[in-house]
Amino acid sequence: MADETTAAKTAPAASQEEGKRRKGKLHFKPSKRMKSNTEKASREPVDAASAMAAVKRFQGTKFDQAVDVVFHLGIDTKQADQLVRGSVSLPKGIGKTKRVVAFCTSDLVAAAKAAGAVEAGGEDLVAKIEKGWFEFDVAVASPDMMRVISKLGRVLGPKGLMPSPKAGTVTKDVVEAVSDYSAGKVEYRADKGGNVHATIGKMSFPEGDLLENFEHLLKTIEGAKPSSVKHNYIKSISISGTMTPGIRIKYSDAAAAATA
């Protein structure tokens, strides 16, 4: 009985001590690089050219970081007519290639592989994926192959890999699509919060190349505005490196409409 009483008294103390240890393990201490970059980050929105320069001034890492842009859109993603999705080839590329597979008829397999596809085919490719092979970043398909790959919807859909006409990955010219996506064609899609994330290059890119890619992507997003959205379509834009703070970019819907 005495042992049970002692255990009961010491249990809360032991629990508190373990809680302290756990808290210590989870404590986040920012690095010197992060502190320095946070101090450099602008608190106010800046023009696009200044934003590109600011991102490149951040203290770098040992790897060549991607430069990403986030558009926060004033859309209701629950409405089918307000979905924003598509793809675009940026004028300066994005500094990396993608692994592409092509669902196509047997007469196009050789051409698709020559264009850069890591794998191409019909029923045989479907069977390979059903067995658990997912070593690719983008899947393209010809319209007549959609009935063949429909069974993969439950597998590829959640991974964002299912070919779609809206995304430009279902096309009559499969070989050209393979070539475009292998070279780094950007696919964009608004998430549930109405945010579109996209890569516009690498930190090693010149400021001018990043700016040109950004402006091209911006025009693409503006052109994808759903007709049912009347006001405040692009609420905010920010740019950042993979491991840097974000920089907000000045944007005005009114100014965009005036130059359209």
For residue 79, with 0-12 CB atoms within 10 Å meaning exposed, 13-18 middle and 19 or more buried, which class applies? exposed
Per residue in 113-147, pLDDT (tens digit) is: 999 999 999 999 999 999 999 999 999 999 999 99
| pLDDT, position 259 | 46
Q: What does the domain layout of the chain look like in residue ranges? A: 41-96+186-260, 97-183
Cα torsion 8, 9, 11, 12 to 10°: value is 130
Residue 211 has pLDDT above 60, yes or no: yes
The answer to whether the CB of 234 falls within 8 A of the CB of 251 is: yes
The answer to whether the CB of 204 falls within 8 A of the CB of 214 is: no
Higher confidence at residue 43 or residue 208? 208
Residue 5 has pLDDT above 60, yes or no: no
Indicate the range of 83-87, 209-213, 218-222 predicted with least confidence.
Answer: 83-87
Q: What is the DSSP string of 142-176?
A: -GGGHHHHGGGHHHHTTTT-S--TTTT-B-S-HHH
Q: How far is the C-alpha of 41 from the C-alpha of 25, rounded, in Å?
A: 28
Q: How far is the C-alpha of 40 from the C-alpha of 69, rounded, in Å?
A: 19
Q: Residue 13: pLDDT band by 50, 70, 90 thresholds?
A: low
Residue 249 has pLDDT above 90, yes or no: yes
Residue 224 has pLDDT above 70, yes or no: yes
Per residue in 152-194, pLDDT (tens digit) is: 999 999 988 999 988 889 999 999 999 988 887 888 999 999 9
CATH number for region 97-183? 3.40.50.790
Higher confidence at residue 96 or residue 224? 224
| pLDDT, position 14 | 52
Query: pTM, whole model, 2 decimals?
Result: 0.68
Per residue in 14-47, pLDDT (tens digit) is: 555 555 555 555 555 666 666 656 655 667 899 9
Q: Which fold has domain 41-96+186-260?
A: Ribulose 1,5 Bisphosphate Carboxylase/Oxygenase (3.30.190)
Structure tokens at 229: 């959205």
Cα torsion 110, 111, 113, 119 to 10°: value is -70
